[in-house]
Chains A and B, each alone.
Chain A
Amino acid sequence: EAQVTQNPRYLITVTGKKLTVTCSQNMNHEYMSWYRQDPGLGLRQIYYSMNVEVTDKGDVPEGYKVSRKEKRNFPLILESPSPNQTSLYFCASSLSPGTSIYEQYFGPGTRLTVT
């Protein structure tokens, strides 16, 4: 089954404690990205990756890091989480930019609470 998986699904942590949210897709997609969703602000892109070893900032990259060492994985790293990073996070993947089909597949979400 084609899918995007994220782990963990729920996480409560404390300020300053480094954490990683994993994302993996099994569709051989080149493009992957991370969004955060907050009430009243909608979904906003954090980082994206066009392919292995190619990453770039989205609209709200501050406080986040990403890496793309393998095509299927795109972890989101919070080096020093703060309460304003409490949010619902989604990973997404899609075919390469060379196609006109803009169907992005989203993971189930990770609800992060930073106290």
Chain B
Amino acid sequence: DAKTTQPTSMDCAEGRAANLPCNHSTISGNEYVYWYRQIHSQGPQYIIHGLKNNETNEMASLIITEDRKSSTLILPHATLRDTAVYYCIVRVGVDPSGYALNFGKGTSLLVTP
């Protein structure tokens, strides 16, 4: 799996957009970008994933650069409940060899009032 690089921590004011970057310069053509988050000691939660195109769901938007070497997760109107560690994971979409998720260290996002 391609390695990802994320900032260790970020701050965001409540109500503002939170933009979380992720570098994955060695990503392969068949690898997807996934985002999960973990709110303090709770089970990780899936947010969104994408291959090439930008994606949006009720939680967030995912912007993937044209060369696919980096991506940005956008929380459009951050709330205090969005304070969590956010993990960017690159993984082959269909892989029968275990499906383990390599969470790495992630970005600790603090949303402040």
A and B assemble together: yes
Contact in complex: B44, A90 (CB < 8 Å):
yes
Please measure, in the bound complex, the distance between the C-alpha atom of A75 and the C-alpha atom of B5, giving whole angstroms. Answer: 34
The tally of CB-CB contacts under 8 A between chains A and B is 62
B86 CB within 8 Å of chain A:
no
Interface residues on chain A, number (Cβ under 8 Å): 29
Please measure, in the bound complex, the distance between the C-alpha atom of A106 and the C-alpha atom of B42, giving whole angstroms. Answer: 9
Given contacts A33-B100, A42-B104, A48-B100, contact A102 B49 (CB under 8 A): yes
Interface residues on chain B, number (Cβ under 8 Å): 21
Contact in complex: A100, B32 (CB < 8 Å):
yes
Contact in complex: B99, A102 (CB < 8 Å):
yes
User: Given the complex, which residues of B lie within 8 Å of A42, measured CB to CB?
Assistant: 103-105
User: Given the complex, which residues of A lie within 8 Å of B105, measured CB to CB?
Assistant: 42
A62 CB within 8 Å of chain B:
no
Contact in complex: A45, B100 (CB < 8 Å):
yes
* Binary B-proximity of A39-56 (CB < 8 A = 1, otherwise 0): 000110100101000001
Nearest CB to that of A98 among chain B residues?
B94
Q: Return the contact of A56 from the options B34, B44, B46, B98 (Cβ within 8 A).
A: B98
Nearest CB to that of B89 among chain A residues?
A102
User: Given the complex, which residues of B lie within 8 Å of A108, measured CB to CB?
Assistant: 42-43
Contact in complex: B93, A102 (CB < 8 Å):
yes
A77 CB within 8 Å of chain B:
no
Chain A positions within 8 Å of B, measured between CB atoms, are 4, 31, 33, 42-43, 45, 48, 50, 56, 58-59, 88, 90, 92, 94, 97-109, 111
Ranked nearest first, the 7 interchain pairs of A and B with the lowest CB-CB distance are: A106-B43, A100-B93, A45-B100, A97-B96, A103-B46, A43-B103, A106-B44
Can you name 7 A-B residue pairings with CB atoms under 8 Å? A56-B98, A88-B41, A97-B99, A101-B49, A102-B91, A102-B101, A109-B43
